[in-house]
Amino acid sequence: MRRFFAITLGILTAIGGFVDIGDLVANALVGSRYGFALAWVVPVGVIGICLYAEMCGRVAAASGRAVFDLIRERLGPRWGLGNLTASFLVTALTLAAEIGGVALALELASSVNYLLWIPMVGFLVWLVIWRVRFERMEQVFGLGGLALIVFAVAFWQLGPDWGQLIHNATHPTLEPGEGRATYFYYAIALFGAAMTPYEVFFFSSGGVEEHWSAEDFAVMRSNVFIGFPLGGLLSLAIMGVAALVFFPAGVQVETLGQMALPTALALGKIGLAVALLGIFAATFGAALETGLSAGYTVAQYFGWQWGKFVRPLQAARFHLVILLSLIAGVMLMLTTVDPIKVTEYSIVFSAIALPLTYLPILVIANDPDYMGEKVNGRFANLFGTVYLVLILVVSAAAIPLMIATKAGQ
């Protein structure tokens, strides 16, 4: 049982990170617009995040320190500051989007306008971060997020034509009127959603919170190689139901309600209730992760005491950053800006910031001073470098494609 709970960090990271509001929206939107023609991006993203999350976990277990903690020390304050600025802004924007996502899930269950839920959601996220133990937090929301499996059940229930599905996924073709630029814009959005920077910062900081050591490599790897692929499967299921219900009807998913509708059509009220529970748990879990990650990055850069393994009084500045990030997120959402639009922009900005996150990880994972015998092997370096080139291409193409396609229109 203890071993089972030990892998919940990976599940939380996967559910709250891989399947957060960005993925819920991006996968449903892409499924409704392109069917399975962009399904190939999900495994590409899963392999990339597994590769780098494993490096981060190894850094945390081998050195006892989180990755961001080492970036400034290893690469100097200027690089560290650039990394901090980009990562913090993307994480704060994502936090705002997650708060909006939780409020939208509550609106779907209650029909009370999401704006009324936003202050309460912000308060609850802060309260959970402040009061609830790290392990309990990850168990409750990680396992709650598993309710999203209902999308896989709904997909099965909707009776897909498996042969056609595999053909569409392996031979992607564009519908008449769809441009290649828009296709690649959404490919970048999906990839950015899969490799959001906060996932790796949260994962390595969470490893330190859980006091990983060299003896915990097996647990860390189970977290990575079970959690993220599971998140990837859930993403494909969400894409799948949208592809089956909305793609033939020519409807592009633009709201969280549309995203959940196929579960009602396939499984009725119980299916819908489970889906809403999963969406709530996944977005709330991601709000906890992004809130904590905002605190982790700033506190680790400035060398402040951080973490939930010490009393809040001993890590006052860490908790202050979290509180201010939450207040900023709540205020942004209360401007009535569309949470789905914030999400769409946050995942594209995330794609732009990717090199600043992943290059330092590759450098630190190769440094024997920190890693000892656990430095990257040839396999990790080969694939790590291939992905770094991919990340650079994605990052360079994101803004031109955003402009050329009017943000995917």
Partner 1 sequence: MIGRAVAASVFVVTLLAGCAGPSFSHRDYERKAAHTAEEANAVVQTALLTVQAAGKRRAPRQFLDVLLTDAESTLADIQASFEGVQPPEPDADQLRSDLGDLLSRAGDVLSTLRIEVRRGRLGALPETAGPLTGLHDKLEAFAEEHR
Q: Contact positions toward partner 1, by CB under 8 A?
A: 107-111, 177, 245-246, 249-252, 254-255, 257-258, 260-261, 264-265, 267-269, 272, 341, 345, 399, 402-403, 406-407, 409
**Nearest-5° Cα angle at 230, 58 to 188:** 85
For 304: left if phi > 0, alpha if psi spans -120 to 50, otherwise beta; the answer is beta
What three-state secondary structure class fits 172?
coil
User: For residue 216, what are its two tokens?
Assistant: 């915990």
- Give CA–CA dist 253/33, Å, rounded: 8
Contact indicator for 12, 141 with CB cutoff of 8 Å: yes
Closer residue to partner 1, CB minimum distance, 108 or 230: 108
Least Cα distance to 11 among 229, 332, 321, 255 occurs for 229
323 vs 392, which CB is nearer to partner 1? 392
Q: How far is the CB of 371 from partner 1 (least distance, A)?
A: 35
Nearer to partner 1, 47 or 273 (CB): 273
Nearer to partner 1 (CB atom), residue 218 or residue 403: 403
Radius of gyration, alpha carbons of the chain: 20
* Closer of 232 and 339 to partner 1 (Cβ): 339
Q: How far is the CB of 174 from partner 1 (least distance, A)?
A: 16
Alpha carbons 33 and 278: distance in angstroms, whole number: 23
Q: Is the dihedral of CA 355, 358, 360, 362 positive or negative?
A: negative
* For partner 1, the closer CB: 116 or 403: 403
Structure tokens at 80: 């560290």
CA distance 341 to 403: 15
Q: Kindly state the smallest distance separating residue 346's Cβ from partner 1, in Å.
A: 12
Please tell me whether residue 288 adopts helix, strand or coil conformation: helix
Considering the complex, state which of residue 56 and residue 260 has its C-beta at the smaller distance from partner 1: 260
Q: What angle do CA 233, 236, 239 make, to 5 degrees?
A: 155
Dist. CA 283–CA 105, nearest whole Å: 9
**Other CB atoms within 10 A of residue 138 CB:** 26
- Least separation in angstroms between residue 196's CB and partner 1 is 19
Closest CB 256 distance from partner 1, rounded Å: 9
127 vs 174, beta carbon nearer partner 1 = 174
Minimum distance, C-beta of residue 358 to partner 1, in the bound complex (Å): 22
Q: What three-state secondary structure class fits 402?
A: helix
Q: CB 287 → partner 1: shortest distance, Å? A: 20
To partner 1, the closest distance from the beta carbon of 201 in angstroms equals: 24
Side chain identity at 341, as an amino acid letter? Answer: K
Of 307 and 408, the one with the shorter C-beta distance to partner 1 is 408
Q: How far is the CB of 99 from partner 1 (least distance, A)?
A: 18
Burial classification of residue 112, based on how many CB atoms lie within 10 Å of its CB (0-12 exposed, 13-18 middle, 19 or more buried)? exposed
- Which alpha helices (DSSP H) does 250-377 contain, by range? 256-302, 316-334, 339-364, 368-371
The CB-of-249 to partner 1 minimum distance in angstroms stands at: 4
The residue among 248 and 372 lying less far from partner 1, judged by its C-beta, is 248
| Tokens standing for residue 101 | 């996502």
